[in-house]
Amino acid sequence: MVRLELIVLLVAFATCLVRTNDVFLKEPPDYIKECRIADKDFVNCSTHSIQQLFDKLNDGIPGLTSIKSFDPFYLNRIRITQGNSNAINLKVELANVKIIGFGHTNVLESQVFKKDYSWKTTFTLPEMKLQADYSLFGRILLIPLNGKGQVFLDAENMTVTMHTKTRLYSKGGFTFYNVTNLHVDFKMDGLKSYFSNLFNGNKQLEDSTNKFFNDNWRMLADALYTVITQTIEDILLDVLKKIFHFIPANFFVSDIPTPEQLYGRVKPKPK
C-alpha cells in the first residue's frame, strides 16, 4: 500500500513538472511589439521590442516564475582556466556571484537573420558590478597570485555584442525559439577592481597590487576578458532560454516560419 502511494505521488510530481514546463503565453503581451521580418523597418521595430522586453524584466514577467531576479542576478559558481600569453596564466573560481547592472540595459540594435533565425544584439550597460568569493592561482600582468577572498569589479560604460544561435520548435500551435548557444564580445570605458586577501594577509602587498590593477585597468580587463564574458554569457543564456520557452517567437516576429517550413522536417521538442 505504501509503495502504491509513493508511485502515485511520484506520478503527480512528474505531471506537475511537465505542466510547469509547458506553461506559455497564448496571447501577445502589451510589453512586446510584434514585428514583420519582411518589412524594411524590421531592425528598428525589433530593437524597440527587445528593449521593451529588457525593461519588463526589471519588474518581472507575469507568469514566468523561473527567473527569480534579473537585477541583481545571482550565479552559484564560475570556473575558468585562462592562459593566452606569458603575462596571463590563470585558474579562477568564483562562488556566490552577484551581478548588478542588467536592469539598465540599453538596446542599440537587434538583428534577426532569416537564414537560421539566429540573432545579433548590441546593447550597452552604463555600469556592471560583480561581487563574489574568489579563488585565484596563476599570474596577471606578470604578477604571481595565489589567494582566496572577495573580489569586486565595477565596469563602466560597457558595449556588448551578443551572437545567439537558436532552433525553432512547435508547441501548442505556436513557433518557439530554443536558444542553444550564445557568445558575447565587449568593450568598456573603465574598470575598477579590488581583490581582498591576495597574498594571504600581506596588506601592504595587497594594497599596492590593487592600486596597480586600477592604474592599469585596460590590461586587467584583457586579463579578465574570459571571466567577464563567461559571466555575461551565463546570465543571458539562462535568462533567454527561460523567456523564449515561455513567450512564442510569433509574438516577436509575426511572420516567422514554422520549423517544418524552415528546416523541411519536424524537429524534436528540446528537453
pLDDT, tens digit only, all 271 positions of the chain: 555 555 445 544 444 444 445 789 999 999 999 999 999 999 999 999 999 999 999 888 999 999 888 899 999 988 877 665 555 677 888 999 999 999 999 999 999 999 999 999 999 999 999 999 999 888 877 788 888 999 999 999 999 999 999 999 999 999 999 999 999 999 999 999 999 998 877 889 899 999 999 999 998 898 888 889 988 999 999 999 999 999 999 999 999 999 999 998 655 556 5
**Residue 42 counted as domain residue:** yes
Predicted pLDDT at 232: 92
Residue for grid cell 556592471: 128
Predicted pLDDT at 3: 56
**Residue 192 counted as domain residue:** yes
Whether residue 257 has a cis bond before it, omega within 30° of 0: no
Indicate which CATH number applies to the domain containing 176: 3.15.10.30
**Residue 257 counted as domain residue:** yes
Predicted pLDDT at 77: 87
**Residue 8 counted as domain residue:** no
Angle among Cα 141, 74, 103 to the nearest 5 degrees reads: 95
**Residue 237 counted as domain residue:** yes
DSSP 115: T
Rounded CA-CA distance 66/52 in Å is 19
Predicted pLDDT at 111: 97
Query: Are 156 and 173 a contacting pair, CB within 8 Å?
Result: no
Rounded CA-CA distance 198/134 in Å is 10
Query: Which grid cell is 150?
Result: 572577495
Query: Number of structural domains, the chain?
Result: 1
Nearest to 105 by CA among 240, 261, 202: 240
CB contact set of 52 (below 8 Å; sequence gap of 6+): 31, 32, 33
Q: Which domain holds residue 245?
A: 29-262
**Residue 159 counted as domain residue:** yes
CB contact set of 116 (below 8 Å; sequence gap of 6+): 165, 166, 262
Predicted pLDDT at 88: 67
* pTM of the shown model: 0.83
Query: Which grid cell is 175?
Result: 513557433
**Residue 269 counted as domain residue:** no
Predicted pLDDT at 32: 92
**Residue 244 counted as domain residue:** yes
Rounded CA-CA distance 217/211 in Å is 10
Residue for grid cell 595587497: 206
Nearest to 259 by CA among 128, 150, 141, 169: 169
